[in-house]
Amino acid sequence: MTRNTPIRELKGVGEKRAGLYNKIGINTFGDLVFHFPRRYIDYSETVPVSAAQIGEHAVIKAMVIKKNGAARIRQGLVLYKVFAEDENGDRISIVFYNNRFASEALSVGEEYFFSGKISGNLTRKEINSPTFLKTSEKNLLRPVYPLTEGLTSAMVTTNISEILDRADDGFFADPLPDGIRLEYSLSTLEYALRSIHFPNDSYSAETARKRLAFDELLKLQLGMMMIKNRTRSASSCVMTEEKADMNSFFSALPFELTGAQKRAIEEIKKDMCGSFPMNRLIQGDVGSGKTAVAAAAAYFAAKNGFRTALMAPTEILAVQHYETLSGMLESLGVGVCLITGSMTKKQRAAAAERLCSSDCFVAVGTHALISETTEIHDLGLVITDEQHRFGVNQRAALAGKGNDPHKLVMSATPIPRTLALIIYGDLDISVLNELPKGRRKTETFAVTAKLRERALGFVKKLLDEGRQGYIICPMIEEGGSELAAAKGYAEGLKKTILAGYRTGLLHGKMSAAEKDRVMEQFKEHELDLLVATTVVEVGVDVPNAAVIVIENADRFGLSQLHQLRGRVGRGQHQSYCILIAGSLTEESRQRLEVMTKTSDGFEISEYDLKMRGAGDFFGSRQHGLPDLKIADIAADRELLANCQRAARELLKKSPDLSEYPELRKETEELFTQNDNAAESL
Ligand code: ADP
Ligand code: MG
Instruction: Give the highest mean pLDDT range of 390-404, 437-451, 646-660.
Output: 646-660
Nearest CA to ligand 1 atom 26: 436
Specify burial of residue 585 (Cβ count, 10 A radius: 0-12, 13-18, 19+): exposed
**pLDDT at position 82 over 50:** yes
676 falls in which pLDDT band (50, 70, 90)?
A: very low
Q: Using the mean position of ligand 1's atoms as its centre, give its distance from the Cα of residue 127 in Å.
A: 58
Mean residue pLDDT across the chain: 87
Q: 411 in ligand 1 pocket by Cβ < 6 Å?
A: no
Residue-wise pLDDT for 123-156, tens only, equals 899 999 999 999 998 889 999 998 988 898 889 9
DSSP-assigned states of every residue in 404-453: --EEEEEE-----HHHHHHHTTTSEEEEE--PPTTPPPPEEEEEEGGGHH
Residue 81 bridge partners (DSSP): 95
- For residue 109, the tally of other CB atoms under 10 A from its CB is 7
Residue-wise pLDDT for 557-611, tens only, equals 888 888 889 889 888 899 999 999 977 778 888 889 999 999 888 888 888 777 7
Calpha distance 240→76 (Å, rounded): 77
Calpha distance 349→462 (Å, rounded): 44
Cβ–Cβ < 8 Å for 47, 60: yes
**pLDDT at position 318 over 70:** yes
- Candidates 290, 541, 575: which one to mutate for ligand 1, based on the most atoms within 8 Å of Cβ? 541
User: What CATH class has 443-598?
Assistant: alpha beta
307 phi/psi in degrees, rounded to 5 = -90, 160
Q: Where are the alpha helices (H) located in 167-289, listed in sequence order?
A: 178-183, 189-197, 202-230, 246-252, 259-273
Average pLDDT over residues 87-110: 93
349 falls in which pLDDT band (50, 70, 90)?
A: confident
Cβ–Cβ < 8 Å for 422, 241: no
**pLDDT at position 102 over 70:** yes
Ligand that lies nearest to the alpha carbon of residue 294, given by its number in the listed order? 1
Pick the CATH number of 44-136 from 3.40.50.1100, 3.90.870.10, 3.30.70.1140, 2.40.50.140: 2.40.50.140
pLDDT of residue 225: 85
Reported as type and span, the H/E element at residue 365 is: strand 360-366
Residue-wise pLDDT for 405-415, tens only, equals 899 988 877 77
pLDDT of residue 312: 85
Q: 436 in ligand 1 pocket by Cβ < 6 Å?
A: yes
Q: 292 in ligand 1 pocket by Cβ < 6 Å?
A: yes
116 phi/psi in degrees, rounded to 5 = 180, -175
**pLDDT at position 471 over 90:** yes
Q: 562 in ligand 1 pocket by Cβ < 6 Å?
A: no
More confidently predicted of 214 and 435 = 214
Q: Using the mean position of ligand 1's atoms as its centre, give its distance from the Cα of residue 331 in Å.
A: 19
**pLDDT at position 678 over 50:** no
| DSSP tag of 373 | I
Q: 325 in ligand 1 pocket by Cβ < 6 Å?
A: no
64 to 73, 111, 128, 238, 646: CA distances (angstroms): 23, 6, 15, 80, 54
Q: Using the mean position of ligand 2's atoms as its centre, give its distance from the Cα of residue 539 in Å.
A: 5
Reported as type and span, the H/E element at residue 592 is: helix 586-597
**Would you kindly state where each structural domain of the chain is located, as residue ranges?**
7-39+154-200, 44-136, 241-274+288-411, 443-598
Calpha distance 114→93 (Å, rounded): 11
Ligand 1 atom index nearest CA of 294: 6
Ligand 1 atom index nearest CA of 256: 23
**pLDDT at position 344 over 60:** yes
Q: Any idea which architecture 241-274+288-411 has in CATH?
A: 3-Layer(aba) Sandwich (3.40)
Q: 265 in ligand 1 pocket by Cβ < 6 Å?
A: no
pLDDT of residue 192: 97
Cβ–Cβ < 8 Å for 88, 50: yes
Answering whether pTM is above 0.75, one says no
Q: Using the mean position of ligand 2's atoms as its centre, give its distance from the Cα of residue 681 in Å.
A: 21
Nearest CA to ligand 1 atom 18: 289
Number of residues that make up the chain: 681
Do domains 44-136 and 443-598 share one topology? The answer is: no
**pLDDT at position 619 over 50:** no
12 falls in which pLDDT band (50, 70, 90)?
A: very high
**pLDDT at position 101 over 90:** no
Calpha distance 517→196 (Å, rounded): 57
Crossing angle between the packed helical segments 153-166 and 189-197, to the nearest 10 degrees: 150
